[in-house]
Structures are given as C-alpha cells and as structure tokens.
Structure 1
C-alpha cells in the first residue's frame, strides 16, 4: 500500500511530524529519517547553499524511502519554482509570501494547464521518466503538487485569510524569526504583537480548512504549538540535532573521564 503523499497529509488535521535538512544530503538520509518515524522532510535551498543538482539527487533518496519531500526554494522567481517541480518536488515552500497576487504567480509557475502556466517537460524526473498521455500527466501533476506558503511578514499576516482561501494553497507555514523581525520585535515570541499575528494566521487556516506548519526547536514547543492548531510540525534540523546530541555526549564523557597518569 502506497504511503500518503503531501496532498493527502495536508488534507487532514492530524499531526504530521518531520525534519529540516540544510546540510546532509547524503544517499542514506531518506531512509534514516523514515526509520526515525518522520512523515515528511523539509529540504532547504534558501539558506543551505544546495543547488538543483543536489535537489535532483536528494529527491531520489527520499523517493526510495517513500518519504514525502517539501523543497523550499530561495525565491518566487519562475525558474526556481519550475525547476524544483521538474526535479520532482512533491511539495513546494516559498519564503515571505505576502499577498494573493504572489500566490497566484506561484500557482501559475508550479501547475500545468489549465490550472497554471508552467512550461511543459515530460518523461523527466518529476514523472519518473515514464511515458504516458499529456492530459493524464497534467492532471496527475496538478493533483500531486502541494503548496506551502510561508507567513514571514506583517503583510503576509494581514493577507493570511485571503491567501488561505485560494484553491491551490495547501498550507500556511509560519516563519517565526522573520515574522518577528517584520513586526519590529526580533526574537520576542511572547510579545503581544507576535501572539496576535499567530492568532490571525490560525484563524485563517481554520476558516478555510488548510494546514498550518512551523519549525520547532524542542519537543515541548512542538506539542504546545500542535495544541494551538499547528499540524505540520518540523522538528529541528540536521545540523542542530547532530550538534546538540554530540555536545551533550562529549560533555558527559569529558566530565566522567579521569586523567590517567
């Protein structure tokens, strides 16, 4: 039985738990995350330095592990969006989406006719190099591709309701650090302005029955945010998980080991 894809996952409000990859695009990474129990992976191009050759390889690793992958592209430029789709990205995340016009441009860039205006490339990575009818491929691709719009600005919060209402938007994803900066309160996540922005975003997704996601640094915060209405919970990233686990172990070893001689 096939694992549920991102489209199916985003249609439910049950918790979806994943991990953020910014450094280790190794051949085994998909199987490691799948074995650890992840429901999805968020693969970053905005801050990682990964290029599209790496994306193309990494997506094959995730496919082999049957782990749905969201690719965060670095901008809303057509060539970034369409290339990620052609490489086989099932989910697409866009940073700092601010208004409905930007959302419609994204949908035009990632969806085939008649939903969008994406340039046609068939029997390549995104359709697993398989032959088939053009009409069937358009329908399958448009049904499969899943859009995650990042709410990272004051403008995005103000327009969250309108953006969540658009057919083709599957999830609003809060970029908490950039949102706090845009609100003029960098890193102040307990500030009333930040809390009000979150409440407004939560109300938008509830009204339109869309998913809501966020990166979280701790298990405790993930549980707390799930109770607030977040259902895509991305726990930490590869760099920080490795660093923190190793630092803890090395610290304990250093404290417990005695100097000999």
Structure 2
C-alpha cells in the first residue's frame, strides 16, 4: 500500500474521504475510485447482496489500486468478521453496535492472540500468501486491522463513551438513517434529539481519541459534519452517484434537444 493504511488514518484527525460500493464490484472499480481522489473505500455486504466470493475478488481490485478497504459485514457474528479479514480486508465495519460487551466481542474476533482470539490461518489472502515467522505475522495482522463500530441505536448512543473507550475500536461510525429510526424520528436529521445524539457520540470520540465517521449524501452535509468533528467522510455511493450524473445528462439532452427542435420549426 503506497498511501497510509486505515490504522495510520485512524491516528490522525485530518479528514479522510471515501466512497460507498453497493453495486459495482467490477475489476476497474479500485482504480476508478483511486483516480477520483478517494482515500478509502467502504464495501458493503449488509445491504448489497454481495457474497464472500465477490468480497475476495473486490479486495484484490482495491489492492491493485492501493486503496484501503473497509468491508461492512452482514452481522456481528464471528464467521462474518473473520472471513472478511482472512480475505484481506484492512478494516471491518460492524452494524448496530450498542454495548461495550458487543464491542469487546468484536475486537476479540478481529485480533489474534494476545489481543484477541481470532482463529489463525496464515499464508492465505490476508498476508498475500507469504510465509514467515508466526508470531511476527500475528503481530503484523493485529497492527493492520482497523475496527469501525456503527452507532445506529439509542442504546449505542447511551453507551458511546464505553464503546469508544474499548481498546481495539478505532472509529465510531454513525449510521444516520437507522439511528434516526431508533430515536423515534425517522429521517429527521436536523431534530434536536438527533443532533444531541451526534454530539454525544462526538464527545465520546474526542474523549478517547477515536475517529468519527459517517456516509454523507452530498458535499454540504460532509462539510457540516466535518465541523462536528467527523473525519472519515464517505461521499455517497456508486448507485446514487452514477444515477445522478446520468440523470443530469439525460435531462440536459432532453431539454436541449426539445429546445433545438422547437427552434427549427
């Protein structure tokens, strides 16, 4: 990796910009995102329908472009966490993390001994199929792996301080839609309840020196949340970006051609 790793990014409060992939797991996607200026990619397996065979291939595409990859796994189950890591994911994002006990289980599943109890498999995708001294490889993987815990529930907000204080958690990532639903105000992102919850999570991250992230649908929201202390900012997703650009072009063509036709009469 020629640029900073996710763990290195997690040591800095400088903004990091990425993109959300839910549809286009094509061979060129890594280079497309890298050349668009992305610092990282968030690859979704919770809502996309991607299976682990696709994850394994997509991570190679991102590695080829030297673009650090966060894989959002479908659940907090050990099998999902460990398999994504074995396939080479640098970062793991877990949905609906609501208690410090859940956070500790996640770290235990991500890290090898002595920091956790992840099952050992060496000389495979995550270490580029290389040999080497076992303890050194375990330590290197522990240093490499980054953990992004999604705060998406009212309980998660209440426990944000304890979750952020869990050793091995690198970033709290606000799942804004699910959080607004859990707070009883679906989609009300400017409500006092929602904004108070955001500040509670931000304070927890500041206190424990952890990073703070979220998906932002547009530039204005990203700038707004940078002001709230967010530093991992994932700009929109592949489907919505492509669709918006295509719609703008088609709408422009339709309007322009209609005007040209009218003028030619």
Name the structure 2 match of 1:53.
53
Q: Distance in 1 between matches of 2:84 and 2:104?
A: 17
Q: How does 1:1-261 map to 2 (within 5 A)?
A: 2-258=2-258, 259=261
Q: Distance in 2 between matches of 1:64 and 1:139?
A: 24
Structure 1 gaps, min length 5: none
Q: Distance in 1 between matches of 2:125 and 2:134?
A: 15
Q: Distance in 2 between matches of 1:74 and 1:13?
A: 28
Q: CA deviation at 1:30?
A: 0.3
Q: Distance in 2 between matches of 1:97 and 1:112?
A: 21
Q: CA deviation at 1:2?
A: 2.8
Q: Distance in 2 between matches of 1:253 and 1:80?
A: 45
Q: CA deviation at 1:215?
A: 0.2
* Alignment RMSD: 1.1
Q: Distance in 2 between matches of 1:61 and 1:190?
A: 38
Q: Distance in 1 between matches of 2:12 and 2:120?
A: 31
Structure 2 gaps, min length 5: none
Q: TM-score, normalised by structure 2?
A: 0.97
2:234 alignment partner, SS class: strand
1:229 alignment partner, SS class: coil
Runs of 4+ with >4 A deviation: none
Q: Distance in 2 between matches of 1:122 and 1:39?
A: 28
1:212 alignment partner, SS class: strand
Q: Distance in 2 between matches of 1:3 and 1:39?
A: 8
Q: Distance in 2 between matches of 1:241 and 1:2?
A: 27
Q: CA deviation at 1:110?
A: 1.1
1:184-238, Cα deviation, whole Å (9 max, x unpaired): 0000111111011001000000001110000000011101110110000000000
1:15-72, Cα deviation, whole Å (9 max, x unpaired): 0000000000000000000000000000000000000000000000000100000000
